[in-house]
Amino acid sequence: MKVNSTLSYFILGAYEHVGNLKYLYFMLTAMLYIVIVIVNISLIVVICMNRSLHEPMYLFLCSLFVNELYGSSGLFPFLLVQILSDIHTVSAPLCFLQIFCLYTYAHVEFLNLAVMSYDRFLAICYPLQYNTHMTFNKAVIFIAVIWFYSFVKFLITLSLNIRLTFCGNIINSLICRNYLVVKLACSDTQVNNIYGLFGTVLTILVPLLPILFSYMRILKICFCGSKQTRQRAVSTCTPHLASLLNFSFGCFFEIIQSRFDMTNVPRLLRIILSLYFLIIQPLLNPIMFGLQMSKIRNTCKRILCYKMFTCRKDTM
């Protein structure tokens, strides 16, 4: 795709000169990225290699972990380069590519969590019919639709942005953000605004409706069911609810930061809140689901014990 010839780069105005501290920030960011990559890849390998985990619930988790890697790869390498750079510029094509990656990541995340809530609803409310309602093939179709729909949706956003003529190139942010880029345009942005508003409503409503429906039914079963049913629902839904609330919290502050003046908020807090859902979510999900899901936890223990036993045997 050809980018508007009137603009070749954007300037990221939220970076400040920090002297030698940039090497400390670089090391901390790199370590965080490495941890995120290791824990997500480890759980993906565990799920793929263990046949007992080839169930719809773990397939949705695998899709979630793949998405964490995808979103992190759209953020961390870019941050690492900018931290070490003295001139905080980004080419227009790379800026649009980052917008596409980060926004598709957020969209896939929300939809994936919505489908997982529906899966938990079927498992808790219809345990005997679960294998009929949610088969492996249906789970694959759900995941394919989630990724395809998200990519198509933001390919349209990307094509609308590329056609714009820009009168400014300073983005007051650490990363490229769609709303801030569109604000720099001096050409007609009516189509972008209408599609953006329509897309935002769809982005929120499409996942929110199955989430509300699923948890209303789960709550009804919990109130009317036995103690064992309530305990099963709590143990099954706790990591999902924690992930959903954490992601919603991060997205809320992302929207607030993009739309309103936050100059009165301390700069460090603004930075943390602006990157919260892009950093904490990929780190929290694998740790939380890995610890909470007994099958994943037990599989990891068996693999670890087997490796330790093999290493001891080799040294004897």
Q: What is the pLDDT of residues 253-263, one digit of tens each?
A: 777 776 666 66
Sheet (strand 9-12) strand order = 89-91, 9-12, 170-171
Whole-number Å distance between alpha carbons of 35 and 284: 11
Q: Is the pLDDT of residue 116 over 90?
A: yes
Q: Is the pLDDT of residue 49 over 70?
A: yes
Helix or strand run (H / E) with residue 205: helix 190-224
Average pLDDT over residues 279-285: 90
Q: Answer with the residue of higher pLDDT: 222 or 208.
A: 208
Number of structural domains (the chain) is: 1
CB 123 within 8 A of CB 57: yes
Tracing tokens 């099963």 back to the chain, one arrives at 232
Point out which residues pair with 11 in neighbouring strands.
Answer: 89, 170
Q: Assess if residue 3 is contained within a domain.
A: no
The domain that holds 88 is classified in CATH as 1.20.1070.10
Q: What is the pLDDT of residues 7-44, one digit of tens each?
A: 788 988 888 777 778 889 899 999 999 999 999 998 89
Q: What is the pLDDT of residues 219-236, one digit of tens each?
A: 888 777 677 777 777 777
SS3 261: coil
Q: Assess if residue 157 is contained within a domain.
A: yes
Please tell me the predicted confidence (pLDDT) of residue 108: 95
Q: Assess if residue 167 is contained within a domain.
A: yes
Q: What is the pLDDT of residues 301-312, one digit of tens each?
A: 665 555 554 555
Please tell me the predicted confidence (pLDDT) of residue 5: 44
| pTM assigned to the model | 0.88
Q: Assess if residue 84 is contained within a domain.
A: yes
Q: Assess if residue 2 is contained within a domain.
A: no
Range of 167's domain?
Answer: 9-315
Q: Assess if residue 4 is contained within a domain.
A: no
Q: Assess if residue 133 is contained within a domain.
A: yes
